[in-house]
Amino acid sequence: MASAHGQLRILSGNSNLKLAELVAGHLDTKLTNCDVRKFANQETSVAILESVRACDTFIFQSGCGSVNDMCMEMFILIAACKTASANRVVGVLPYFPYGKQSKQKRRGAIPAKLIADMLKVAGVHQVITMDLHHMQMQGFFDMPVDNVKSSPLFSLYLKEHVPNAHQAVIVAKNAGASKRAALIAKRLRMDFALIFGEQTKFAETLSEERLGEDGSLEAASEEVQAESMQMTEGLDEDSYGTSVIGSVEGRTAIIVDDLIDTARPFVMAAELLLKNKASAVWVVATHGIFSGDAAEQFQASVVEKIVVTNTIPQVEFQKRCSKLDVIDCSAVLAETVRRIHNNESMANLYGHD
């Protein structure tokens, strides 16, 4: 498949070879042979075994597993393609590494911005990713970024698999997940509910301002900020809520978020929903990280079903949790690659609602 940018070439690091192979299959091509390994001293070595000269090169790598090693593989693959005279290099990062660290906390860095800068230095021309953790991350780049949406995939899956789907309710486990959840609720014409509670303390702590006693916005003093930090010790943006806005009684509650890292926030949300008389609780997220024993915690929890995409390999997690279903996102990524390769518009990628 050739275009004005040259012959299409698809390469992959070691993080998710299966997904890259599926994408290549949709495009009637094969992965370009490359050797990505580690030396005995743990340095990353990359060798591209086919010519990419004057080619339109797409490099796949997800930010999972040994994340730092996966990042270095990506950077060196990009640099190797540039050195080998590739016409254009597009980085395809289905799950963007360090995406959860896209906001500055007290005297901290913004690692997601640093990853964006390093991709540019390595020589990437464009980035494709799926469901960034925060939409404002697109502003970290001074190059085109295509943030592919998974919501059409989930909408179709939920219509087909949720019992009495027309009566189900989409739930955001915190305010940060509300926009994504509301979008899916709109697509499915379902009701929407929001879990509200302790995570509001975390949001206030991150701010240099807070509400005064009279309801006005005032600057927080060092003492007040220190007090807030102490109050929210152990809390983060995944902290669980304590009340539900919206009705879930007698209905399947579907918790929607962009990623699942640890299980506890979702399990606590599920227990709260069942206390509010939901008939069952499902969890739906684009990226299934499942850190630590998250898979086992879900297996032992009240959550009935967990649904994620294959932006991150899920084979091992499925062995540890029989409740886990995986949606293949390779077709939508392949169509994204095809359109960018052919300079086609992305406007109607998902069709019309």
pLDDT at 232: 39
Q: Is 111 left (phi over 0), alpha (psi -120 to 50) or beta?
A: alpha
Whole-number Å distance between alpha carbons of 126 and 346: 14
pLDDT at 196: 84
Residue 281 CA: distances (Å) to CA of 58, 221, 229, 317: 38, 42, 32, 20
Residue 9 CA: distances (Å) to CA of 14, 129, 214, 223, 330: 17, 18, 61, 56, 16
Number of Cβ within 10 Å of residue 91's Cβ equals: 26
pLDDT at 208: 46
3-state secondary structure of 62: coil
Whole-number Å distance between alpha carbons of 94 and 151: 14
Share of the chain above pLDDT 70, in %: 86
Whole-number Å distance between alpha carbons of 17 and 131: 20
pLDDT at 340: 95
pLDDT at 280: 96
Model confidence pLDDT, tens digit, residues 4-16? 778 999 999 999 9
pLDDT at 197 over 80: no
pLDDT at 233: 43
Model confidence pLDDT, tens digit, residues 199-248? 544 444 444 444 555 555 455 445 544 544 444 344 455 556 788 999 99
- Whether 254 contacts 170, CB under 8 Å: yes
The reported pTM is 0.85
Which segments of the chain does DSSP mark as H helices, in order?
Answer: 17-26, 67-83, 111-122, 151-161, 178-188, 199-206, 222-231, 264-275, 294-299, 315-320, 330-341
Q: Over the chain, what is the mean pLDDT?
A: 87
pLDDT at 165: 87
pLDDT at 92: 97
Of 281, 210, 272, residue with least CA distance to 245: 272
Residue partners of 162: CB distance under 8 A and separation at least 6: 168, 252, 254, 282
pLDDT at 351: 56
Whole-number Å distance between alpha carbons of 334 and 196: 38
Model confidence pLDDT, tens digit, residues 46-70? 999 999 999 999 999 999 999 999 9
Whole-number Å distance between alpha carbons of 16 and 34: 14
Share of the chain above pLDDT 90, in %: 69
Mean pLDDT of 266-283: 95
Mean pLDDT of 330-348: 93
Beta strands in 215-261 (DSSP E): 217-219, 241-245, 252-260
Model confidence pLDDT, tens digit, residues 83-127? 999 999 999 999 999 998 888 887 889 999 999 999 999 999 999
pLDDT at 107: 82
For residue 342, with 0-12 CB atoms within 10 Å meaning exposed, 13-18 middle and 19 or more buried, which class applies?
middle
Q: Minimum mean pLDDT among 93-97, 176-180, 258-262: which range?
A: 176-180
3-state secondary structure of 320: helix
